Amino acid sequence: MKRFVEEDLSDTEFRECALNGTRFVGVVMRDAEIDGLVTNLVVNGVEVSSYVEGELDRRYPVRLLIRSEDPGDLLAASRQLQADWTATIDRLRSSPGLERRTVNGEWSAVQTLRHLVFVHDSWFRRCVLGSTDPFTPMGLAVDFVPDREAQGLDLGADPGLDEVVAVRQEQVAELETWLGTVTPSQLAATAPVPDGPGWPPYARGRSTRDCLGTVLNEVREHHGFCVRDLDLLEARA
């Protein structure tokens, strides 16, 4: 176990780190921000993650739809998410160039949309539909995804906003058409993930509903990240 004793860690950033079982004892923590998968978080003897989850549900009711087992609710969730993204894309188009600007080392808006192209190809087409087709070349995966080019990604791709939006619209239409016909029993079944290598390697054995939930959550969370960064960029401007 790593221990930091009487260290000044002010302004430190932990990115993509596992902090399970971490203890902060006798610390001074002001103006701190935590963003990630946080469960069973105890602050000064009070478990706060359940409060945080409840507050997030209150602010973003679409989270309740995403957790539903009912295909109709899941379709409604997808439509709400698409409406949110449409409003943000209109915002980007009103300020040309904003879609490629970055802040705090995060992805730009166009990169975020390209990542959702990859999420759809991997978690929906491959895991939910059982497709073995190569991924869309413009898709953007995180750096730790192995064999990206072998799976169809073009690491030198640099598409414009309209090109990426057109692909995302096709993907959303594909998803919503499927949601319009799927049954609860099909959602509960084991996802038809193809044999052999391919991303994600840990999806085999999961339910179709679980894989679909990953898609919808990624669309929602990355929209939140995008709006957060656009607000920062416009405030600085």
DSSP track, 32-94: ----S---S-EETTEE-HHHHHHHHHHH-THHHHHT-S-HHHHHHHHHHHHHHHHHHHHHHHT
Residue numbers in the chain where pLDDT is lower than 70: 1
Q: What are phi and psi for residue 124, nearest 5 degrees?
A: -100, -60
Report angle CA 212, 216, 220 to the nearest 5 degrees. Answer: 165
Residue 198: the pLDDT is 93
Residue 182: the pLDDT is 98
Are residues 117 and 168 in contact, defined by beta-carbon separation less than 8 angstroms? yes
Residue 146: the pLDDT is 95
Q: Which of 141, 148, 154, 84 is nearest to 114 (CA)?
A: 141
Q: Which CATH class is domain 69-236?
A: mainly alpha
Residue 43: the pLDDT is 85
Sequence ranges of the domains in the chain = 69-236
Residue 230: the pLDDT is 97
Residue 92: the pLDDT is 97
Structure tokens at 188: 């509960």
